[in-house]
Chain A
């Protein structure tokens, strides 16, 4: 099956700094990528949807200036958490789809962010 990778798998950063998380589709072209956030023992919450070459669509309540999403190519999307604070500590998961219907979607392994 299709593979989606995320890098890094785990990152610790100091409060006030920015951190970038990469999501790559390794063996297919992802026209759409999604970013989710998951708190411990909770469900996945969709943060934003990004289509290659266009601006991301953010879900209500997600600060677009804090969570910058770039989908510059058909195989790479990045999520940058700017001016991170401890409350941004979470597990971030991306998924990718090369199918216009979105029916075929593949998840990355996730990135654990800890802000100290």
Chain B
């Protein structure tokens, strides 16, 4: 079974600063995908960034980037130049490549951006 662990239940960051959210996972699979989703107070799940495990290069999306360490099974999210709109719950998620296609979500990190 796949497990996803987010060890930081709550975090805060000053506006315009940088923050890193941690995520580790446990799997025996070699081909998989990793995702970070944002859930603001509206509860709508929004894709932030994703990474294919076979790609060594870390994914980036504007102010969001990941540090993917496959051997360590670590997938952290860095948010640069934090904005008030980044305040949300952030979920790390794992998806096996191939059959099933279901997400395994971590427990989430509540991020607050302080003005």
A binding-site residues for B, Cβ under 8 Å: 32, 34, 38, 41-46, 49, 91, 93, 95, 97, 101-103, 105, 107, 109-110
Please state if A97 and B106 are interface contacts (CB–CB under 8 Å). no
Known: A101-B101, A105-B101. A43 touches B45 (CB 8 A): no
Interface centre among A34, A38, A43, A44 (most CB of B within 10 A): A43
Chain A residue, CB-CB nearest to B93: A44
B64 at the interface (CB under 8 A from A): no
User: When chains A and B are docked, how far (Å) is the Cα of A2 from the Cα of B42?
Assistant: 18
Give B44-63 as 1s and 0s: 1 = Cβ < 8 Å from A's Cβ atoms. 11100010000000000000
With an 8 Å Cβ cutoff, the count of chain B residues facing the other chain is 22
Say whether A46 contacts B103, CB under 8 Å: yes
Contact of B108 with A43 in the complex, beta carbons under 8 Å: yes
Q: Taking the complex as formed, is B68 at the interface, i.e. its CB lies under 8 A from any CB of chain A?
A: no
A102 to B50, CA, bound (A): 13
* CB-defined contacts of A105 to chain B, threshold 8 Å: 101, 103
With contact pairs A43-B106, A110-B43, A110-B44 given, residues A103 and B100 touching in the complex (Cβ less than 8 Å)? no
